[in-house]
């Protein structure tokens, strides 16, 4: 048998046969009981540095497993520990010495916790205190490696090393200073309050080391700069006294163009983390303005590679100018919006008025990236000015500026709804011009202009969010899209056009019916043919658009094509291995479920396994190995994955690979997994009958995803489980099975709400609670403990006690107490709105008598957000949630009327139209469900509504004033001076925007008719015209069509001459449309 060193030599030979033979022999050799001492001996004495290092790599991998270490005899352990320390000092090769240190660190993790290796600490101290620079450097290097591997265990021995750190951080040998800093960085996550006072004075010295490294060794500077983010994330306040100095250094680093991009980006990463975790510190240290100024300057940096306008626009996320924009986005998401937008305009406004192209580009980009985080603030304070600005920008002659402005249009469209719709006549014609010009240039053989992606992005987002308001523009839109689908045009242009067709369909739905046949012709070309690799994105987009069309065009239109679409979608999925294509196919399956409902049953045996494969797949997962370039060339692989029994008492952490720093998943596979969850959710909703047979099969794997590493997957998994539970509960005799499912789901939703760090996941979990309560009512809270769990979720979000809120609020312990009136980020405000939605849903699941005491407990928290100094979002939310709680409190409102009446009538006079709208709605609901409790207030209410009606110019608020008047009439008509009120009401009908409130108008008309009120007869022609507008021009709610039928039938029979004369005078197409509604 070959000796171990001979075997290692074989494995390292550049010969496949030798490697194969050597690997087989090595697997056997590793089973020998003396393998560890043998590897150490080779690591110390082999004449080949490469073999020495390979032996040490194998030794480390073996001994990093606790059970392998524990199996060694005490003599072997002692010999290995002393032999490694000896090897470290005698080894001349740096790479081998580094591998020796790695073995020492692996053993230290096992030994230091029980104080079994005091010689190691004595050895390190002795090296660090030597006068020789190289020995001191070696000692500090070893300490940094041990701290990385065994930081928690090393923390106990920190005190004797503090003086060494003080000395080393000021050492003229920059390498020693660096390793001292890295040791501290690795220890930061384990530092508690006891160690904080020792560590804090070292931080300014680390600052100096970073400054020196920036000049001498950029890579080391980047590594050490990670200490700042570690300090921000630790629970112990270490950085607070030095935070301003660190932030200013990072701004200085980011601003230096002569530095390597990686260093500048690392500095910007700290600023982004600071915004995310310590926003109040940023504000109190007066850092916001200098940060914004630096970011703006960076965003305006010219990228030499990007100067040629004819080049394809491929922006790298590793450029400081791009990372600066991303950092600005983080600030907008986490800081109060007025702290970002107002100071940002100090640099943006002069840029808009100036002539510097890059500054103008930066200004438009800045407006774009703050739109999401500061949406409400922009919508209520800056929207007209900002829209005018971007309208100018999209007409700019310079491409860089134009593209940035187009990006801003897209971001505004996505985040500033519904107000942005008002500017359709300003924005859409300009975008149409761009499309026409693009098609003309392509027709003449020119290259695709670089702005085409941004034009389509702006157009898509603007159209998709307009909904039915887009209808007048659809003919022009489709003309442009069909022109762009010219077979001769480049694939990318056709891909963008198909995506835009889908966005338009999402907005207008059945208004796309006239174009359906032509759209399907285009889609079939790309879905049924064999496309090249270059054409694949076009096929993927065609499949995505097909899914949208199926979902939105209407069941009657699409159903004849459903079976055919299902067939070629399945054919594509089964014939091509592409995660993007599969993701879109899952979307088609979900859309077809909307069309076929329970008729999906025949396809489920094929579809479900495809979806579950994606749910359970680990495809696209890549292990990120720890940085250890010196060892990456050595094959270890599964050499150490032996079949030896492991005691159940062994350390559970041993299952983890010590070389793995973490895992990443390619975005395409993440999106596929998310779409699979959402498709299962849709199948459970649309095809409940046949899907119930698959619930058990799907639930387990989906449940495993609720703790997945990516927030989108967690949210999708919770949503799917929620719909599975509803599916069970809707089955005949499904109560027991539903209660069993709820017993698992409610605690999981509660856990997500309380402990998840991502606001979007918490929003999703709250949304799931709302859906469960609406669909399953009292069943959700039937099991003991569930009601308390739901209430605790609402209370803790209201009191900002959930993990994601505490992370946002987290501040250093020695700072001033939080001001309860400090504004939150808009994301945090949105979270409270989601919790608010749960409350009325809970009320609908209980009797009013049961709900009242819980409402009383939460009322003070809601009223707290109606104060004058609260944000518009807070006041609007509070009025809205109180309004929708009136119905669940019907009959038990007496103790709440004084507070509620005062709140609604006060907020009715607010400067913001949305607050006024919600408050008027709330007042109407209070009257409707409080009845006689409000009779004494009728004169005051009528006066308030009269004044509001004469002053109001917002369509939604006007509609809700009209609806409130109808509620007053129906509840107590005797207290309403009808001769004065009803004519005024009729002069403000039909409603303009809030078509849900047509239900109140129709109920009032029916009430007056049934009571034979003379004003109904005298206003009959006007009433018929109002009903006609509802029926033929407005979107009808499910409860409205029966009321229209009843009213028109009664009018036709009771006032036949008047009705017949009125109906015969209508244009033929209007008569036809009315007949369809009355059919």
Is the pLDDT confidence value at 624 over 70?
no
Give the number of other Cβ atoms within 10 Å of residue 854's Cβ: 18
Region at 606 (left for phi over 0; alpha for psi -120 to 50; beta for the rest): alpha
Is the pLDDT confidence value at 549 over 60?
yes
Q: Write the burial class of residue 21 (CB in 10 Å: 0-12 exposed, 13-18 middle, 19+ buried).
A: middle
**Crossing angle of the two packed helices 320-334 and 337-353, in degrees rounded to 10:** 140
> In 3-state terms, what secondary structure has residue 882?
helix
CA separation for the pair 647, 654 (Å, rounded): 11
Identify whether the C-beta of residue 861 lies closer than 8 Å to the C-beta of residue 798: yes
Long-range contacts, 1041-1045 (Cβ 8 Å, 24+): 1041/1077, 1043/999, 1043/1002, 1043/1003, 1043/1006, 1044/1002, 1044/1077, 1044/1078, 1045/1077, 1045/1078
What's the pLDDT score for residue 635? Answer: 63
180-193 tens-digit pLDDT: 999 999 999 888 88
Structural tokens at position 573: 């999925």
Torsion angle of alpha carbons 471, 476, 482, 485, nearest 10°?
-100
Distance of CA 154 to the CA centre of its chain: 38
Torsion angle of alpha carbons 579, 584, 590, 592, nearest 10°?
-130
739-778 tens-digit pLDDT: 999 999 999 999 999 999 899 999 999 999 999 999 999 9
Identify whether the C-beta of residue 277 lies closer than 8 Å to the C-beta of residue 233: yes
CA separation for the pair 383, 416 (Å, rounded): 8
Structure letter (DSSP) for residue 492? H
Is the pLDDT confidence value at 308 over 70?
no
Is the pLDDT confidence value at 531 over 60?
yes
Range 562-591 average pLDDT: 91
311-325 tens-digit pLDDT: 333 344 578 999 999
CA separation for the pair 673, 618 (Å, rounded): 10
Structural tokens at position 656: 């983890």
Identify whether the C-beta of residue 8 lies closer than 8 Å to the C-beta of residue 51: yes
What's the pLDDT score for residue 302? Answer: 66
CA separation for the pair 55, 248 (Å, rounded): 47
Range 1047-1068 average pLDDT: 92
Distance of CA 148 to the CA centre of its chain: 32
Least confident residue range of 243-247, 447-451, 617-621, 625-629: 625-629
Is residue 399 very low, low, confident or very high in pLDDT (cuts 50, 70, 90)?
confident
474-509 tens-digit pLDDT: 999 999 999 999 888 888 999 999 999 999 999 999
Mean pLDDT of the chain: 89
687-740 tens-digit pLDDT: 999 999 999 999 999 999 999 989 999 999 999 999 999 999 999 999 999 999
Strand partners, 1002: none
Beta carbons within 8 Å of 983's beta carbon, 6+ residues apart: 1019
- Looking at per-residue pLDDT, the higher value among 645 and 996 belongs to 996
Is the pLDDT confidence value at 256 over 70?
yes
Beta carbons within 8 Å of 904's beta carbon, 6+ residues apart: 879, 882, 883, 919, 920, 922, 923, 926
Is residue 157 very low, low, confident or very high in pLDDT (cuts 50, 70, 90)?
confident
48-57 tens-digit pLDDT: 999 999 999 9
What's the pLDDT score for residue 1014? Answer: 95
Identify whether the C-beta of residue 463 lies closer than 8 Å to the C-beta of residue 503: yes
Q: Write the burial class of residue 1050 (CB in 10 Å: 0-12 exposed, 13-18 middle, 19+ buried).
A: middle
Is residue 868 very low, low, confident or very high in pLDDT (cuts 50, 70, 90)?
confident
Is the pLDDT confidence value at 656 over 60?
no
Range 559-565 average pLDDT: 92
């Amino acid at each position: 048998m070959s000796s171990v060193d001979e075997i290692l030599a074989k494995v390292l030979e550049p010969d496949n046969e030798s490697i194969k033979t050597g690997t087989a022999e090595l697997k056997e050799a590793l089973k020998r009981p003396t393998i560890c001492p043998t590897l150490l001996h080779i690591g110390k004495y082999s004449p080949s540095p490469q073999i020495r290092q390979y032996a040490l790599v194998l030794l480390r991998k073996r001994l990093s497993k606790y059970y392998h270490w524990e199996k060694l005899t005490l003599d072997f352990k002692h010999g290995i520990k002393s032999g490694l320390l000896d090897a470290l000092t005698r080894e001349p090769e740096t790479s081998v010495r580094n591998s020796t240190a790695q073995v020492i660190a692996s053993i230290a993790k096992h030994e230091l916790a029980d104080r079994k290796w005091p010689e190691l600490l004595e050895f390190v101290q002795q090296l660090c205190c030597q006068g020789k620079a190289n020995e001191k450097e070696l000692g500090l290097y070893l300490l940094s490696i041990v701290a990385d591997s065994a930081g928690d265990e090393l923390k106990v021995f920190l005190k004797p090393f503090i003086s060494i750190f003080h000395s080393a951080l000021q050492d003229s040998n920059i390498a020693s200073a660096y390793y001292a800093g890295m040791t501290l960085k690795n220890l930061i996550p384990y530092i508690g309050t006891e160690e904080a006072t020792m560590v804090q004075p070292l931080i300014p010295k680390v600052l100096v080391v970073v400054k020196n490294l920036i000049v001498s060794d950029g890579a080391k500077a980047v590594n050490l700069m990670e200490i700042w983010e570690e300090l921000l994330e630790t629970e112990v306040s270490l950085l607070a006294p030095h935070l301003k100095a660190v932030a200013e250094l990072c701004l200085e680093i980011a601003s230096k163009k002569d530095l390597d991009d990686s260093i500048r980006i690392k500095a910007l990463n700290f600023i982004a983390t600071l915004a995310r975790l310590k926003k109040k510190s940023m504000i109190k240290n007066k850092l916001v303005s200098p940060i914004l100024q630096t970011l703006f300057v960076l965003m305006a940096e010219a990228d030499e590679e990007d100067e040629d306008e004819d080049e394809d626009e491929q922006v790298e996320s590793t450029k400081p100018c791009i990372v600066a924009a991303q950092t600005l986005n983080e600030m907008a998401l986490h800081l109060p919006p007025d702290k970002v937008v107002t100071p940002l305009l100090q640099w943006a406004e002069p840029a808009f008025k100036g002539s510097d192209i890059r500054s103008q580009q930066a200004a438009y980009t800045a407006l774009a990236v703050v739109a999401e985080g500061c949406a409400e603030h922009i919508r209520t304070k800056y929207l007209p000015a900002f829209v005018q600005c971007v309208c100018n920008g999209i007409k700019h002659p310079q491409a860089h500026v134009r593209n940035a402005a187009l990006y801003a249009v897209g971001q505004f469209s996505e985040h500033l709804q519904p107000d942005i719709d008002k500017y359709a006549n300003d924005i859409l014609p300009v975008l149409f011009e761009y499309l026409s010009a693009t098609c003309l240039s392509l027709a003449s053989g020119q290259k695709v202009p670089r702005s085409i992606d941004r034009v389509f992005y702006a157009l898509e987002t603007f159209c998709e969010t307009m909904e039915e308001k887009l209808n007048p523009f659809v003919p022009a839109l489709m003309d442009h899209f069909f022109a762009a689908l010219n077979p001769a045009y480049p694939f990318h242009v056709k891909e963008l056009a198909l995506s835009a067709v889908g966005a338009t369909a999402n907005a207008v739905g059945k208004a796309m019916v006239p174009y359906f046949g032509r759209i399907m012709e285009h889609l079939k070309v790309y879905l049924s043919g064999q496309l090249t690799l270059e054409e694949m994105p076009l096929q993927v987009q065609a499949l995505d658009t097909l899914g949208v069309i199926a979902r939105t065009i209407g069941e009657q239109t699409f159903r004849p094509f459903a079976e055919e679409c299902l067939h070629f979608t399945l054919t594509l999925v089964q014939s091509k291995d592409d995660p993007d294509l599969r993701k879109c196919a899952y979307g088609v399956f979900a859309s077809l479920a909307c069309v076929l409902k329970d008729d999906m049953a025949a396809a489920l045996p094929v579809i479900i396994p495809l979806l579950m494969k994606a749910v359970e797949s680990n495809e696209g997962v890549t292990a990120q190995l720890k940085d250890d370039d010196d060892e990456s060339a050595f094959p270890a692989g599964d050499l150490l994955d032996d079949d030896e029994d492991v005691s159940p008492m062994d350390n559970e952490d041993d299952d983890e690979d010590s070389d793995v720093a973490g895992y990443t998943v390619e975005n395409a596979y993440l999106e596929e997994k998310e779409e699979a969850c959402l498709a299962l959710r849709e199948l459970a909703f649309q095809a409940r009958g046949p899907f119930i047979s698959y619930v058990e099969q799907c639930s387990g794997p989906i449940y495993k995803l609720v703790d997945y590493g990516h927030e989108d997957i967690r949210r999708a998994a919770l949503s799917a489980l929620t719909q599975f539970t509803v599916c069970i509960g809707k089955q005949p005799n499904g109560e027991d099975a539903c209660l069993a499912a709820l017993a698992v789901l409610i605690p999981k939703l509660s856990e997500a709400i309380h402990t998840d760090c991502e606001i979007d996941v918490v929003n999703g979990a709250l949304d799931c609670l709302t859906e469960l309560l609406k669909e399953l009512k009292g069943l959700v809270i039937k099991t003991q403990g569930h009601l308390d769990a739901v209430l605790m979720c609402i209370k803790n979000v209201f009191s900002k006690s959930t993990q994601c809120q505490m992370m946002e609020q987290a501040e250093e312990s020695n700072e001033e107490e939080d001001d309860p009136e400090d504004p939150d980020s808009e994301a945090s405000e949105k979270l409270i709105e989601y919790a608010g939605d749960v409350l009325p849903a809970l009320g609908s699941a209980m009797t009013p008598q049961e709900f009242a005491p819980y409402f009383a407990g939460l009322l003070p928290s809601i009223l707290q957000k109606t104060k004058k100094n609260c944000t518009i979002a807070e006041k609007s939310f509070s009025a809205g949630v109180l309004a929708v709680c009136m119905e669940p409190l019907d009959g038990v409102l007496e103790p709440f009327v004084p507070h509620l009446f005062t709140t609604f009538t006060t907020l009715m006079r607010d400067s913001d139209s949305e607050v006024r709208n919600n408050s008027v709605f709330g007042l109407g609901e209070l009257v409707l469900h409080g009845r006689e409790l409000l009779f004494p207030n009728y004169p005051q209410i009528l006066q308030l509504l009269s004044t509001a009606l004469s002053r109001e110019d917002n369509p939604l608020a006007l509609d809700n004033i009209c609806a409130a008047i109808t509620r007053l009439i129906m509840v107590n008509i005797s207290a309403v001076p009808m001769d004065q009120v009803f004519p005024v009401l009729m002069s403000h009908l039909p409603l303009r925007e809030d078509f849900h409130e047509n239900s109140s108008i129709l109920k009032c008309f029916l009430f007056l008719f049934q009571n034979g009120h003379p004003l109904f007869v005298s206003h009959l022609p006007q009433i018929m015209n109002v009903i006609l507008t509802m029926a033929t021009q407005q979107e009808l709610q499910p409860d409205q069509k029966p009321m229209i039928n009843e009213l028109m039938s009664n009018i036709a029979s009771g006032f036949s001459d008047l009705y017949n004369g009125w109906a015969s005078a209508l244009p033929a197409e209007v008569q036809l449309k009315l007949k369809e509604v009355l059919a």
